[in-house]
Each structure stands twice: as structure tokens, then as C-alpha cells.
Structure 1
Amino acid sequence: MPGNARLGLRFSTREEALLDDLDALLAAGGSTALLAVRNGRVVFERGHHAHRSSVASVRKSLIGILYGIAIEAGEIDLDATLEDLGIDDLSPLTPEEKQATIADLLKSRSGIYHPCVYGMEPGRPARGSHPPGTFWYYNNWDFNVLGTIYRQETGRTLAEAFQKLVAEPLEMQDFAAEDIFDVPGPESLHPVYKMRLSDRDLARIGHLFLKRGLWEQRRIVPEQWVEDSTTAWSALGGGRGYGYLWWTAEANALGDSLSIDVPIFYASGAGGQYIIVIAALDLVVVHRAADVRNGIIHARMGEILRALLRVIG
């Protein structure tokens, strides 16, 4: 159902009411675009779909795509430790911390609680409180270091890699290489990598994962990598989980306000940046809030998602 669906068309009172409910949620503040794609066809749209803005932490799921391709090509070893890779930081890592593997970083289970650029200071565990691989903590140190390791091991910047390996094969309409860039800081040797994309280009990522790494019958990402990325390696309680840089929610997961009556997996960023994949419905949903600081909370996204499903059936 396109964004101008009411123009010249007749709807039942119930259908009008459902559309009104969804539009009211989107108009309540923060939302700038909502796009739903079923089996490659747009079934609902609102907002400005070509506008490129910060994807916030969705960036983590996107770098995961590059890792899957590089691991398949033999450029990166999932089991390599930070010691193997020569990774350190301003406050030197301990011998135990250096035993964290790339897989631990992808799962956010490194056990390394060094200050980081764009760090989450409140609630950060003490250094040395958890050995590598034993404890899940959503840790920007892990995510930032993945950027460093990718550049080091492949010899490519994230921008050139994403453009060549993802944007071009997926025929992205709005992507520009300058929309991926590093931001250094005094806290750590490892910069944060930032990304800007449009929601219609993010929908392509969702469709790629919906189709298990295929794009128009061409293999872009290894199927096993999609499976591993969207497997809940860490159970976070109430049916919510974390894979390789993607979130998961079981059907009717009490611990995740985004959950619905079938399983989902999704990429999530601050302020309301989402790629939601609902395989049981052959559906990808993208939500954007161009102003990350004035977006929506996770619970509101759940309300929007459920209202959207009522509209599109």
C-alpha cells in the first residue's frame, strides 16, 4: 500500500481507522520515514525515502556484512585473538583481555571495558571483571575495534569496502562513499565509524538478509553468515537475544517491546533507526528518525510495527 493510498481510492471505515491509527503514531514526534517491503515490493511508505541521515548503531549490523564476506574470503579469521592481531589501546590491555577473539567482539562478549569513543560510561563493568567470551555487555569498544581490525586485515577502508561489496551489488540509489567516516577521540586508539544511509537503501539490506544473503539470485553474503548473525548467541532474557551484531526476538517475547507473534531479527540504532526482518511474513520494515536526538524509543517502535501490520495485513 503506497503512501498516497487514500488518493482516489475507497477504503472501508475499518481500513481508514487503521491508517489513522498508524499515521497518528508517526505524527506523534520523531518519525521521519517508514517503509515496508514484502517480497521485494513496497507495500507501505511514508516520509522521505531518499534522505541520507545517521543510522546510529545500525552501523554495527552493517559492518557485520563486511566481516561475513571477508571471513568467507579468508581475509579475516573469526578465531583470531587480539594478541594475534596486535591490538592494544591507550591503557594497555591485560594478557587475559588480549585473548578475546573476533567472534567475542561480534557477540559483544569481549570482556574488555576500556574507555572508548562514544562510550556508554554508566553501567560499564570494571576492567577484569569478566573473562573474554563469558559475559554479554553492549560495548562500543568492541564495535569500534572491529572497524580497526577490518581496515588492518583487509587493507580497505570501510567506505570503499561497503561501496564495492554492498552498495554496488545491491544497486543502492542514494549511497555516497563520504557517508562512511571515522571520528577519533581522546578515550581510545580506535575511532568510531559513522554511517549515513537512506531508508530505501537500508531496505535493501533487510531484503538481502531476508533472502539469506542473496540479491536477485546472486550470492552477496554467505548464507551461513546470515544464519550465524541472526542466531541468539546471547540470551538477554524474556525471549530477546543478540547474535553477531543483530538483535533477535522470539515470538511474543516478553523482554522485547518490539516483538510480535512470530520471530523477528533486527538492526537497531538510537532514536528510532531500524531494519526489521520478519521472515514468516516475507517482510522488511525500515523506520527512520533523521534527528537521532529527537527520535522515538523502542516501545514506540513496537507500537508502530504492530499498527503497520494491522494496516498491511
Structure 2
Amino acid sequence: MSFTCLKSDEKINGRVFPHGTWQPVADPEKNGITPAFRADLDATLDALPTTSFIAISGGETLYTYGDVSEVSYLASTRKSILSMLMGNAVCDGRIDLDLTIGELGIEEDVGLLAIEKSARLRDLLISSSGVYHPAGSPGGDMKDVPARGSKTPGEYFHYNNWDFNVLGAAFEKLTGRSVFAALEEDLALPLQFEDFDRDRQRMLGYNGQSRYLAYHLFLSGRDMARIGLLMARGGTWGDRQIVPAEWVAKSTQIRVPAEAMNGSRKQRVAGYSYLWWIPVVTPETPEWQGAFVAAGHFGQFILGLPMLDMVFVNRRAISDDMAVARNNGTFTDEPATVKMEEFLAVADKFIAARQKVD
């Protein structure tokens, strides 16, 4: 598949889109990035287990920390990217969100209950399938798991990796493409990822626990920033609509409010959408309107702020061996992690610095 490549830092409709290596903001001090601010930010990130961080403003790099080219495990950030990949197939009718998993032929070796088979794909997208068969990979909420058959699909949120893994299988069945092929063709090529390696992407999970394993992704921080910028700009890249604008809007609307998120409720999160976490917006923080977060274990985050045309990415690099061990059940050492509220607090610093200049 071929694509028309952007010229370096080409402007389309007044917006800069990166080509090749990201280009830096010409005058970062206009965004409040003074030497003193940079020193404070460096110290803040030094105190966290962050291995790299990148801030994008107006399609250019405002600040980087660590090696933003390092490719590593995305953990649950993969789920938000799957949501993006589903957009075109939903909008052109290849994926019907009202299809049930029973209609799709989703089954487990021990069998699924009739009530479980009535779960629709849209229920899985908000982690409310009501299917509590053990997941084929870690990463879900393992506390207070409801009894099988006890919840009506679509009515109870429980952050459940079974749902996310089955969504990957459903995507592949309905589109005829693997998640990894779609990642390469729909995002890596048109967005001109700098560090993408198709061979690094892989299925991981427990042996024999479920038929549905996790489609794990391995990307760099600077390529994740391209994903965030695409979403922040309504799915457009240059003069192309990569993800339908309607899907970007629908997939980042609150569908599960914070009070219904049970054990997965997080500070500063107003709710959950189609595999995206939605931050709180207050009258005092209108710049957070339309914001979205992709979040993965250990500290893998993408934050998009469409109102400011800004994107932030945090990485806590995890080796491939550690990722494999975590997913096959031999993982023993839990390294220090970056929490979502810590990541959002770093983004707050950039916003405050920018507002001082404005």
C-alpha cells in the first residue's frame, strides 16, 4: 500500500504535520519553556521512573526527556489504538457494534453462557460485556470479579482483559486483517512512524487459560506522539482523514461515568469511552475539554489536548523479556511505575507555563 508523503514540516490548513524526524518549536519560551522551567521539569521526571517523555505543541516538539526513539511495550495503551483502528471499519459498515459475540461465534473451551453470548461489541468497547471467563492475559481488574452470569451485558463496568482481547479477535474476523497489519497500514505508514518494526508486534498471554490472547504493541514515544496528534486533530493527517472524525468524537465521549467505574475509578478521570480514559473538565480548566488518555501499566501514556493542539507521551520502558514474562505468568518483580495522576500533573506544568505567557 502506498501513501503520499508529507514534505518536511508541511503546513496543511495552517497546521504543521511532521515528516521524518520531529522538528522543534522555534521559540519554546513563547510557550513558557524557559531554562528554569526545563530544569524543574527535568528534576520532576528524574524523581519518577519515567524513561522518556515528549511534549508536542502545534505539531512540533516542545520538550523531550530521555530516549524518545526507544521502542518498548505499550501494555494497555494498545487498547486505545485498537479503538482507532476500528473507526474506518465501523463507519463503512464492516463492523456492526450491535453484533453479539454469539453471532460472531466467540466461544471458549469450557463454553460461554447464553447471557454472555448476548454481549454486543459496543459492550466490550466499554468493558461492560458481563463475561467473566478468565482472560488470556493480565492487565484487567482482578479484584471483586463478579460471578459468571451475574451481570447483564452493557450494564456493569469491570475493567476486563477478556473484553479487550476478544475485540481484537472480532476486528480480525470482520475485517480480514490482523491487528498488526492494520497498525502498519492504517497508522505506521501514513503517519510515517520513525521507529516502527512490524516484527516486534506479537500475541502474548497465558497458555490454555482462554482462546483469546492479547495483541501486544511495541512502539517508541515519538511514534506514540504521532498517534496522539492524529487524535487531537480529529483523525486528520495532512490533507487525509486517517480516522473518521465522527469516530474520533464518538470514541472519546464519556460512556461510563466515573461513579460507575467501580474498582477502576481513577483520580482526575471523569469516565471511560471506547477504550479511552476521559479526564475531568471543570469551569476553571476549559483547556481539558475534549481531552483523552491512553493508559498502560508501568507508565505508558498518551494525552491529547485538542483545545491547545498539544500532545504528551510518557514512557516507562519495559524490556521485551519482562513483557513476555508478565504475559505468560512467570513475572515476579514489579518495577516502579508512573501513575496517571503523576503524568497528568506533569502536563499541568506545561499548561500553567503556557498560560503565564498568554
What is the TM-score of this pair, normalised by structure 1? 0.89
The size of the alignment, in residue pairs, is: 302
Which of 214, 222, 225 aligns to 1:192? It is 214
Partner of 1:256: none
SS of the equivalent of 1:147 reads helix
How far apart in 1 are the matches of 2:168 and 2:300?
A: 20
Instruction: Note the C-alpha offset of 1:133.
Output: 0.5
Partner of 2:225: 203
Mapping for residues 1-313 of structure 1, pairs under 5 Å? 15-119=34-138, 120=140, 121-185=142-206, 186-237=208-259, 240-252=270-282, 262-263=288-289, 264-291=291-318, 293-313=335-355
Instruction: Note the C-alpha offset of 1:239.
Output: 5.7
How far apart in 2 are the matches of 1:297 and 1:67?
A: 27
Distance 1:260 1:304, change over 3 A: farther
Structure 2 gaps, min length 5: 1-22, 260-267, 324-334
SS of the equivalent of 2:312 reads strand
SS of the equivalent of 2:167 reads helix
How far apart in 1 are the matches of 2:62 and 2:108?
A: 47
- Paired amino acid for 1:169: P
Q: For residues 5-27 of structure 1, give each alpha carbon's deviation from its aligned partner in whole angstroms, at most 9, with x where no partner exists.
A: 99xx9xx9x94443332111110
Instruction: Note the C-alpha offset of 1:252.
Output: 4.3
**Cα contact 1:235–1:242 (8 A) shared by 2:** yes
Instruction: Note the C-alpha offset of 1:151.
Output: 1.7
Instruction: Give the % identical residues.
Output: 36
Structure 1 gaps, min length 5: 254-258
Instruction: Note the C-alpha offset of 1:150.
Output: 1.4
**Cα contact 1:109–1:132 (8 A) shared by 2:** yes
Q: For residues 149-206 of structure 1, give each alpha carbon's deviation from its aligned partner in whole angstroms, at most 9, with x where no partner exists.
A: 1122222111112111111111111111122211142210101111100111111111
How far apart in 1 are the matches of 2:286 and 2:342?
A: 13
- Paired amino acid for 2:211: L
**Cα contact 1:58–1:273 (8 A) shared by 2:** yes
How far apart in 2 are the matches of 1:261 and 1:130?
A: 37
Distance 1:155 1:239, change over 3 A: closer
**Cα contact 2:287–2:308 (8 A) shared by 1:** no
Distance 1:239 1:34, change over 3 A: closer
Distance 1:113 1:202, change over 3 A: same
- Paired amino acid for 1:308: F
- Paired amino acid for 2:119: A
Instruction: Note the C-alpha offset of 1:303.
Output: 2.5
**Cα contact 1:252–1:261 (8 A) shared by 2:** no
- Paired amino acid for 1:106: L
SS of the equivalent of 2:39 reads helix
**Cα contact 2:127–2:157 (8 A) shared by 1:** yes
Pick which of 90-99 and 67-76 moved more: 67-76
Q: For residues 191-226 of structure 1, give each alpha carbon's deviation from its aligned partner in whole angstroms, at most 9, with x where no partner exists.
A: 111110011111111111111111102011111110
Pick which of 78-87 and 149-158 moved more: 149-158
- Paired amino acid for 2:270: R
- Paired amino acid for 1:303: A
How far apart in 1 are the matches of 2:186 and 2:317?
A: 26
Q: For residues 216-260 of structure 1, give each alpha carbon's deviation from its aligned partner in whole angstroms, at most 9, with x where no partner exists.
A: 02011111110111000010137611110011012249xxxxx88
Instruction: Note the C-alpha offset of 1:287.
Output: 0.9
SS of the equivalent of 1:161 reads helix
**Cα contact 1:158–1:180 (8 A) shared by 2:** no
